[in-house]
Structure 1
């Protein structure tokens, strides 16, 4: 095909993701051109194993995978091309009690998300998969709607469907350069000539990182060798379900009367560390039997027939993997109108249909169809620009693909990376650190005689008592948190107030010194950001948000400053340390460190002041996320240790303790404070989340999302955030199913333990197909499904711990 000189949208890459994206764009009536450097499927699609599973730990990603299955079921009828799609179900084995607990929790998650996951006995499992030995099997989960497909066939069907809807697909058209002008995308260069475009979509698999890097876009993925074995036929039933045996790190599917067996070894082998060879299209890597032997040794006891089955081929093909095991979608924060769909971690076939649909909507409409945060490219940050760091972390994620997914599990690799000035001091004080976006953050503090490391379990973990100590101190005396990892921005300029007023849903036209807690909404009224703004001057705001949202929130604010307004956004995260002092004794302790008046009259709640501590200029914010009197202290990093020591000297006789992020979590659950990305996000409006009080609807001030909020107030809400508690030693970890009057109505978005109350606490939305109100929510009888067992639960729409707000505002 002759290359056109222009196309509104160019998709680069002819694998399943690129073809799916082009298919969906064409279906939406968009002008789209797909360019493939060799032939369709010639990247990693053609050698993918083709298992299609649905369940993930996030509802929307599960929904996206379900969309893939619906698409694959109907694609052959639409295009006339076979896809090899076979809904033969999927089995997942459990071979010890801890894995069985994990599987039961996964079954509950499936029920929360509307999937029919069934728990089977060992014999029932063998009845479905007669080739296996069940000597060590405790049980299994079965998803009847899972299945398998032929990756190349699905891709060709998508390509045909895309062409039928007007898309142009050109093979043997490598993109040699991305063309820009004035920092904006203008087109691409190929050996056949230049092609202009308005939007560029990079779906180039493992080639994406290097191509995107040429225009300053970071795509953190690396290539890892991935092997699977194909046997000769030996009478394997054609309707055999796919099988995942995570305790033996292996997976299986039927293929032409034989078996495919592969897995995820703990010592994965990186590939192309110094660049992908050219050409590399339909090639495979040399089979590495020595490395694969460890998986064979695990597989043979499970499937004894493999001992005599003939081996047709050991396929070794490189695939792109990411540091957290999730794929990458969305518009690049570094350059407008450049979109990424890559890094599919060997489940690109399962994701392909849904990912292409979501990416196409993102490209065409400027937003995905629903919240895609777990795969959003903006979840990454500064460490992810370093390829060596990304490779180190990615190899750990690869090796954990089938290991136990423990609650609160932390990564070990690439650490420490980003450290607060207090890191060594806290480490010597017993801190056990977690990591987020490269930052080392104290999770809890071990005392003498306690092992200063996490020991993971589905029961009460080894840090439970330590977090309880810190929680108790926050409620009764005082605690000091190092929250230096907060993302911090300055918005400055003559139009700073006008710009922020449009982006923020709460009023920001407050006096200098005011603290504004606000959401930032999308056009559907969904919560894109949840943060704090401090008015430092008439033309300047200091904006504070969560560690993990640094890239996302900066991008959202910067993109939504109205055109023509004079306001500049600057990231100052690395400039300021943050110490948070909370608890009933916080005022006494801080007053001993400063001459400034900290009385409620001089320094009321919701205000900020510059105060002096030990020679340090401190911006003190009277605000709380734990439900106690206290201040966030923002200060230049070089003063951090000095101020930390001064506060501890003053707090020594008041019972002051160091405390970590796990105590913040238990404290905020008791207060009912929402957390973005779990309790609130782009799919939730402020009114649904119980945050309508922070929206300036009583004013006539326009803001992004106002019309959607108004419309919902007229039509009503179909979901409402509530808090649940359970008596006894019920362990909640999130995604437990909520039942109202015996019918499913939602799931827990976050959960933990309230040490003041002595109960497990969960938060989640009560959902309905029709509008509901407070009375509806409170009138029901509630249960929670916990690892497939139902337990009674109490519901409230008020904070569980609320001593009449006296400590918060005293």
Structure 2
């Protein structure tokens, strides 16, 4: 096992997609950087996503702005990291089933477009033509954003990690942080590091890490469960990611099956009741999936903020920076988040 250095300009805590992006952007800028990951790189929330990057986030153009910036970086990923990404364009479809959802979309459309997001309102028929599983009689219209791509999140993590090492960053896995002193000394079972700056990118554990440094981050980690359907009677290998605006149900193609998510059972709700709610929405919105078998794919915890929008910033009185609260959308924002953390650290 490699020996931890005695000090570093920046210690990044968390080795998911946000942490490895931060380590890369800092190291590239000449910052003496150490990354500490309690498990394996990308083994947390980064490994438990639907594997999509997109720019349209309904009602949240600021997240869209970071996602647009990040998509540009992913298209240029190989030039910076020597690790090309396999981006497969699928698009993102949001189904509206009442008039207020359409009105809300129209009210926010200009802000989305000002942020660089490509999105427009289409008819129920056009939604069906994009996703033939859609029941156009149950839908009033839809938002359509072509800028959504399937990508392997671990490819992003590995690419950033390798590029960070090439620029001199040192990355340590299976090295949990157990204490942070007032002078920014970071303690682990493998030793301690004196950090000029700490960068917290620990996903669902960011609140715990921040608390060690007497910093409060108002995060509320929550669980999400991804499900696979049985193999449907008719294959649909290239469905766009499709979301029901009212319930949050999301579906997309995954090899010969359909991958779907709708959060997790509510407090006090038995899993069978939650599965029943999902089945009801599937039968209404996607009749070809009515009664199809559902199976657990994977579960994970995501770091959520009160407004479901990420926190990226720094503590006003100590050298503690943070990027957390991505609520499962870290892949979509990782390049922009890493750039922002770099800029905050270098300027301050």
User: Cα distance 1:152–1:293, how it changes in 2: closer, same or farther (>3 A)?
Assistant: farther
1:269 & 1:199 partners in 2: Cα distance?
A: 42
**What residue in structure 1 maps to residue 329 of structure 2?**
347
Give 1 or 2: higher helix fraction: 2
Q: What's the Cα RMSD here?
A: 2.5
How far the C-alpha of 1:49 sits from its partner, in A, is 2.1
Q: Which residue of 2 aligns with 1:204?
A: 202
**1:632-711 correspondence runs (5 A):** none
Is the 1:75–1:158 Cα contact (8 Å) retained in structure 2? Answer: no
SS of residue in 2 equivalent to 1:321 = coil
Deviations 1:22-66 (A, max 9, x none): 111122222111010111112222112233332355654322111
- The answer for the alignment partner of 1:192 in structure 2 is 190
Relative distance call for 1:289 and 1:363 in structure 2 (3 A) is farther
Q: Say if 1:236 and 1:152 are closer, same or farther in 2 by CA, change over 3 A.
A: farther
Shift of 1:105: 2.5
User: How many residue pairs end up in the alignment?
Assistant: 345
Deviation at 1:85, TM superposition (A): 2.9
Helix, strand or coil at the partner of 1:38: coil
Name the residue aligned to 2:281. Answer: 298
Report the Cα offset of residue 266 of structure 1: 8.9
The alpha-carbon deviation at position 178 of structure 1 amounts to 0.9
Answer whether contact 1:148 1:242 (CA < 8 A) is retained: no
Q: Deviations over 1:78-97 (max 9, x none)?
A: 54546453232111111121
Task: Render the CA deviation track for 1:97-140: whole Å, top value 9, x for unaligned.
Answer: 11111222233332333333222111111111112211121111
8 Å contact kept, 1:103–1:140: no
Residues 36/128 of structure 1: CA separation in 2 closer, same or farther (3 Å cut)? same
Pairwise CA distance, 1:245 = 1.0
Q: Mark the CA change 1:294 to 1:59 in structure 2 (over 3 Å): closer, same or farther.
A: closer
Shift of 1:217: 0.7
Match in the other structure for 1:358 = 340
Q: Distance in 2 between matches of 1:359 and 1:230?
A: 36
Residue aligned with 2:127, SS = helix
The alpha-carbon deviation at position 173 of structure 1 amounts to 1.2
Deviation at 1:331, TM superposition (A): 0.7
Q: Report the alpha carbon displacement of residue 9 of structure 1 after superposing the two structures with TM.
A: 0.6
Q: What's 2:124 paired with?
A: 122
Residues 113 and 214 of structure 1, relative CA distance in 2, 3 Å threshold:
closer
- CA gap of 1:301–1:16, structure 2 versus 1, over 3 A, is same
Cα distance in structure 2, aligned partners of 1:164 and 1:253: 36
Name 1:263's counterpart in structure 2: 262
> Shift of residue 289 of structure 1?
4.2
Equivalent residues of 1:288, 1:316 under 8 A apart: no
| Maintained 8 Å contact 1:248/1:299 | no
CA distance 1:238–1:357, change in 2 (3 Å): farther
Aligned counterpart, 1:572: none
> Structure 2: 5+ residue runs without aligned partners?
none
Distance in 1 (alpha carbons) for counterparts of 2:88 and 2:300? 24
Please give the secondary structure, in 2, of the residue aligned with 1:71: helix
| Residue 8 of structure 1: how far off its partner (Å) | 0.9
- What is the deviation of 1:219? 1.0
- In 2, the alpha carbon distance for the partners of 1:255 and 1:293 equals 22
- What is the distance in 2 between the residues matched to 1:332 and 1:84? 37
- Determine the structure 2 residue equivalent to 1:142: 144
2:320 corresponds to 1:338? yes
Q: Is the 8 A contact 2:20 2:160 kept in 1?
A: yes
Match of 1:171 among 170, 173, 193: 173
The structure-2 alpha-carbon separation of the partners of 1:190 and 1:309, relative to structure 1 and needing over 3 Å to count, comes to same
In structure 2, the residue matched to 1:374 is none
> Distance between the aligned counterparts of 2:46 and 2:36, measured in 1?
16
Task: Give distance in 1, aligned partners of 2:272 and 2:111.
Answer: 37
Deviations 1:569-590 (A, max 9, x none): xxxxxxxxxxxxxxxxxxxxxx
**Residue 288 to residue 77, structure 1, CA distance change in 2 (3 Å):** farther
| TM superposition shift of 1:297 | 1.8
How far off is 1:264 after superposition? 4.1
* Structure 1 gap segments, 5+ residues each: 271-286, 367-810
Equivalent of 1:88, from 56, 69, 90? Answer: 90
Tell me the distance in 1 between the aligned counterparts of 2:99 and 2:309: 27
Do 2:265 and 2:271's aligned partners in 1 also have CA atoms closer than 8 Å? Answer: no
Give the distance between the partners of 2:235 and 2:34, measured in 1 at CA. 42
1:103 aligned onto 2:86: no
C-alpha spacing 1:200/1:241, structure 2 compared with 1 (3 Å): same
Question: 2:56·2:119 contact (CA, 8 Å) conserved in 1?
Answer: no
Distance in 2 (alpha carbons) for counterparts of 1:143 and 1:219: 32
The higher relative CO (CA closer than 8 Å, separation ≥ 6) is in 2
Shift in alpha-carbon separation, 1:263–1:131, aligned structure 2, 3 A: same
Question: Using the alignment, how far apart are the partners of 1:231 and 1:76 within structure 2?
Answer: 34
**TM-score, normalised relative to structure 1:** 0.40
* Alignment-derived partner of residue 28 in structure 1: 29
Q: Retained in 1: the 8 A contact 2:283–2:291?
A: no
Is it true that 1:316 corresponds to 2:299 in the alignment?
yes
Distance 1:266 1:139, change over 3 A: farther
Q: Is the 8 A contact 1:178 1:215 kept in 2?
A: yes
Mapped partners of 1:34, 1:170: distance in 2? 6
8 Å Cα contact 1:224-1:268 kept in structure 2: no
Q: Does 1:327 align with 2:310?
A: yes
Counterparts of 2:287 and 2:146, CA distance in 1: 25
Question: SS in structure 1 opposite 2:277?
Answer: helix
User: Could you state the TM-score of these two structures normalised by the residue count of structure 2?
Assistant: 0.90
Q: Secondary structure at the match of 1:7?
A: strand
Match of 2:321, SS?
A: strand
1:70–1:22 CA distance, 2 compared to 1 (3 A): same
**Which secondary structure does the structure 1 equivalent of 2:8 belong to?**
coil
Give the match's secondary structure for 2:307.
Answer: coil
Q: CA deviation at 1:238?
A: 3.7
Distance 1:326 1:231, change over 3 A: same
Contact 1:174-1:190 at 8 Å conserved across structures: yes
